Amino acid sequence: MNKVVTRIAPSPTGRFHIGTARTALFNYLFARHMGGSFLIRVEDTDRERSKPEFEKDILDGLAGLGLVADETVRQSERVDRHTELLKELVGRDLAYVSHEESKTEAGKTVEVVRLRNPGREVTFHDEVRGDITFDTTELGDFVIARSLTDPLYHFAVVADDMDMGVTHVIRGEDHISNTPRQILIQEAIGAPRPVYAHLPLILDEKRAKLSKRSGATSVQDYLDEGILPEALVNYLALLGWNPGDTREYFTLQELVDAFSLEGIQKSGAAWDREKLLSVNQHWMRELTTDAFITRGNLTAPDEKLLIESVPLLKERARTFSEARELLSGELSCLFTKPELHRELLVAKEPTERPGMTETALESLQEPIKSLPEGISAEVVKESLMPFADAEEAKGKGGRGAVLWPLRYALSGRERSPDPFTLIAILGKEETLSRLEKAVAILEG
Ligand code: GLU
């Protein structure tokens, strides 16, 4: 077999779409698995709708996902070659220039180039769906170019795939109905027929085609939300393909090793945001502390405390935007001294035991002082729990009557991590200073 050549052929008429990313990924994986080449062809022949900023978004997005191409070309730079091929077809009477009334401007005559359609059944084999047959008669002599220098999509795709030596066309299922037309053009210009594999649609949670209405469809939106590129790649690979075993987490290289066209499914692939988030959390947890902070763009007033809070963030956040929210919300108490309110400190104090909160917070100070530095939340819990239990043994209020004011004194928040975690991160000195402040408020 010839060396495998695949391509992604995005039109820069919108931002880099998640569906395009999935198609690009499958083309990349197949080419790399087979030791072939993966090409990018920017299909910018629609001059009005193509925009440089979309081209940049798509190319940056592909690079960001690690889908590095062996070559990148722009379709608009190949128009001379398209013209040459169109003239050749007209010269051989396989196509003709026709002067017709404009459909958009009454009374105006326009020139178009039409293919002489032999009008017959076309059968092609699709690696995913098997043999597919279309009767092309009703297409008539369809238009392949607006003029000899302005090819339309079907013609440009076929000409470019031929010249670039594309052996496998892997693309979305919405292109199945374009394939018979493209095969007729191939036959006219003498291009070899590539292997086709049409990928199942990506469906949203309501089983409709994924669209803006179903949520974000732009790759950059997911990256901005703090989904890691390696997580997006891992998740997209499983949208319509399965490795034939139960593995869920793959690096790009592991995907290259495992990929095959046989693993592509026919039925629609359901978008599952929960799954995306859990794959992302997996890859977030794999990062070292330093990488977690830099790749998540995480900042906090105190670098040391930020480092200490990474395990907590890994436990709770499924995206980096969630991690940032935690740092500025629930975990902000780590970085700024809490502002305490007496009513909240004593909120769980049993009426039968006035002053109990103050005594409890005082009695915790000694055991906290004797904790060694730098110990885990579990060890803090083991050391302090007996004191909370001793208070409970005195009756009324239970452990909560001790643990609530302790947690609140340390965090100043009604919601925060548990007090043992806070102590482990804050360290002894800061913990004791916050407790003293709470006791002072209770005394005052
Ligand atoms: N430019 C086409 C698109 O954006 C892709 C053409 C193809 O893959 O054959 O959908």
Whether the CB-CB separation of 199 and 263 falls below 8 Å is answered with no
Nearest Cα to 308, choosing from 329, 292, 284? 292
Catalytic status, residue 209: no
Which atom of ligand 1 is nearest the CA belonging to 178? 9
Domain membership flag for residue 12: no
Q: How far is the CA of 285 from the centre of ligand 1 (A)?
A: 36
Which atom of ligand 1 is nearest the CA belonging to 10? 4
Alpha-carbon dihedral 41, 43, 47, 51, rounded to 10 degrees: -70
Whether the CB-CB separation of 246 and 286 falls below 8 Å is answered with no
Alpha-carbon dihedral 44, 89, 168, 24, rounded to 10 degrees: 0
Nearest Cα to 82, choosing from 126, 145, 34? 145
DSSP 138: G
CA 417 vs. chain centroid, Å, equals 29
Domain membership flag for residue 279: yes
Q: How far is the CA of 343 from the centre of ligand 1 (A)?
A: 65
Residue of 46, 157, 181 to mutate, ligand 1, most atoms within 8 A of C-beta? 157
Rg for the chain (alpha carbons), in Å?
A: 32
CATH number for the domain spanning 384: value is 1.10.10.350
Question: Does ligand 1 have an atom closer than 6 angstroms to the CB of 171?
Answer: yes
DSSP 336: S
Q: How far is the CA of 206 from the centre of ligand 1 (A)?
A: 26
Domain membership flag for residue 176: no
For atom 6 of ligand 1, the residue with the nearest CA is 9
Domain membership flag for residue 408: yes
Same domain for 298 and 248? no
b vs e for 59-94, b when ≥16 Cβ sit within 10 Å of the residue's Cβ?
Answer: bebbebbebebeeebebeebbeebbebbeebbeeeb
Same domain for 434 and 348? yes
Q: How far is the CA of 231 from the centre of ligand 1 (A)?
A: 25
Same domain for 281 and 216? yes
Question: Does ligand 1 have an atom closer than 6 angstroms to the CB of 10?
Answer: yes
- The contacts found for 109-114 with CB under 8 angstroms, 24 or more apart, are 110/146, 111/146, 111/147, 112/143, 112/145, 112/146, 112/147, 113/86, 113/89, 113/143, 113/144, 113/145, 113/146, 113/147, 113/148, 114/141, 114/142, 114/143, 114/144
In the listed set 334, 362, 394, which residue is the last one of a domain according to the structure? 334
Nearest Cα to 221, choosing from 314, 329, 321? 321
For atom 7 of ligand 1, the residue with the nearest CA is 9
Question: Does ligand 1 have an atom closer than 6 angstroms to the CB of 175?
Answer: yes
Domain that holds residue 321: 289-334
Domain membership flag for residue 32: no
Whether the CB-CB separation of 310 and 290 falls below 8 Å is answered with no
The tally of CA atoms less than 13 A away on the side-chain side of residue 411 is 25
Q: How far is the CA of 182 from the centre of ligand 1 (A)?
A: 12
Domain membership flag for residue 237: yes
Same domain for 297 and 277? no
Q: How far is the CA of 342 from the centre of ligand 1 (A)?
A: 65
- List all residues 6 or more positions away from 244 whose beta carbon is below 8 Å from its beta carbon: 263
Helix, strand or coil for residue 226?
A: coil
Amino acid at 188: A
Nearest Cα to 220, choosing from 63, 59, 57, 68? 57
Question: Does ligand 1 have an atom closer than 6 angstroms to the CB of 43?
Answer: yes
pLDDT averaged per 10 residues, the chain (length 444): 92 96 98 98 92 97 97 96 98 97 89 96 98 97 95 96 98 97 98 98 88 85 96 98 96 98 96 96 98 97 95 96 95 94 93 90 93 91 89 73 94 93 94 97 90
Pairing of strands 130-135, 37-42: unpaired
Nearest Cα to 158, choosing from 145, 140, 173? 145
CA of 403: how far to CAs of 386, 408, 414, 433, in Å? Answer: 12, 8, 12, 17
Number of domains comprising the chain: 3
Query: Which pLDDT does position 1 carry in this prediction?
Result: 63
CATH number for the domain spanning 246: value is 1.10.1160.10
The rounded distance, in Å, linking the Cα atoms of 38 and 24 is 9
Helix H segments across 47-152? 52-64, 79-91
- List all residues 6 or more positions away from 44 whose beta carbon is below 8 Å from its beta carbon: 11, 12, 50, 55, 74, 75, 76
Which atom of ligand 1 is nearest the CA belonging to 7? 8
Same domain for 258 and 239? yes
Amino acid at 130: G
Pairing of strands 109-115, 37-42: unpaired
Instruction: Give DSSP secondary structure letters for 275-334.
Output: HHHHHHHHHHHHS-HHHHHHHTT---S-HHHHHHHHHHHHHH-SSHHHHHHHHHTTTGGG
Same domain for 253 and 311? no
Query: Which pLDDT does position 397 carry in this prediction?
Result: 65
Question: Does ligand 1 have an atom closer than 6 angstroms to the CB of 322?
Answer: no
What number of other Cβ atoms are within 10 A of residue 407's Cβ?
23
Question: Does ligand 1 have an atom closer than 6 angstroms to the CB of 157?
Answer: yes
Domain membership flag for residue 66: no
What is the arrangement of strands in the sheet containing 109-115, beginning at the earlier edge strand?
A: 95-101, 109-115, 143-147, 150-151
Question: Does ligand 1 have an atom closer than 6 angstroms to the CB of 411?
Answer: no
Domain membership flag for residue 125: no
Q: Which of 108, 209, 212, 394 is catalytic?
A: 212
Which atom of ligand 1 is nearest the CA belonging to 13? 4
Same domain for 293 and 256? no
Same domain for 304 and 271? no
